[in-house]
Amino acid sequence: PDISYFNDLYHLYYSVSTFGSNRSRIGLATTPTLDLDSPDYAWTDHGLVIASERSDDWNAIDPNLATDVDGNHWLAWGSFWGGIKMRRIDSQTGLLSSEDDELFSLASRPDALRAIEAPFVISREDYYYLFVSFDRCCAGTSSTYNIRVGRSESITGPYVDADGLAMTDGGGTLVLEGNARWRGPGHNAVLREDEQDWLVYHAYDATLNGLPTLRISAIVWDADSWPTASL
């Protein structure tokens, strides 16, 4: 799930699917507050936002709501198949925009078993940064998940990595990979606290038989404004 606050509501985008299938759905629920003690606390399910079928070359899971510098809202999503996609969102309804129906392709891995998923888009200085996860998730200590990034001057792309390789051609600069203890870090979010950016992700603890663990690492931006992090 992905939660964000705009238009006086918390918007929770969630996905429904079965593992290994692209017959998937992304839905939306909203609430005016997250305070459980508030009389206004209640979730309203608005139902379907977007669906993918077996005939599509993309998979409607792993949603992420992003905002451009003009305040417009966009939904990125994707897992395997044709990679990461994006559509414009109606800021009033939280559903797909009826004025802009273009489907944007942000990233893919055509030559690597299509192992790319979990987009997260942020805006920083002159660029939009697209974080994604490569390789194998959800296999405990055998997981090879790792976090990659590319950037663009437009939220809809084209995104390129630090070597100039387009993310639609398999590009992606390494941000974080596993080590002997922490295996398969991935499916990240990026949070900002004061002037510090934080990478939030899950990894598998090899000292505890691959226990799934939520972790937070500080992001360091290099001289060329590319992010790195350490376990």
Is 150 inside any structural domain? Answer: yes
pLDDT range class, residue 47, cuts 50, 70, 90: very high
Is 77 inside any structural domain? Answer: yes
Structure tokens belonging to residue 91: 């800021």
pTM of the model: 0.97
Per-residue pLDDT at 112 exceeds 80: no
Is 11 inside any structural domain? Answer: yes
Which amino acid is residue 121, in one-letter code?
V
Is 16 inside any structural domain? Answer: yes
Distance CA 180, CA 55 (A): 40
pLDDT tens digit string along 122-164? 999 999 999 999 999 999 999 999 999 999 999 999 999 999 9
Nearest C-alpha neighbor of 155 from the set 120, 192, 187, 190:
120
Nearest C-alpha neighbor of 2 from the set 61, 71, 83, 72:
61
- Average of per-residue pLDDT values in the chain: 97
What residue numbers bound the domain in which 6 lies? 2-182
Structure tokens belonging to residue 184: 């398969």
Contacts for 94-98: CB closer than 8 Å, 24+ residues apart: 94/7, 94/9, 94/11, 94/28, 94/30, 94/46, 94/49, 95/28, 95/46, 95/49, 96/49, 96/50
Per-residue pLDDT at 226 exceeds 80: yes
Is 202 inside any structural domain? Answer: no
pLDDT tens digit string along 169-210? 999 999 999 999 999 999 999 999 999 999 999 999 999 999
Per-residue pLDDT at 82 exceeds 90: yes
Distance CA 159, CA 165 (A): 8
pLDDT range class, residue 120, cuts 50, 70, 90: very high
For residue 20, the model assigns a pLDDT of 87
Is 199 inside any structural domain? Answer: no
pLDDT range class, residue 66, cuts 50, 70, 90: very high
Phi then psi for 146, rounded to 5 degrees? -155, 155
Is 204 inside any structural domain? Answer: no
Q: What is the CATH number of the domain that holds 64?
A: 2.115.10.20
- The domain tally of the chain equals 1
- What are the distances in angstroms from CA 229 to CA 70, 93, 172, 218? 29, 36, 15, 6
Is 193 inside any structural domain? Answer: no
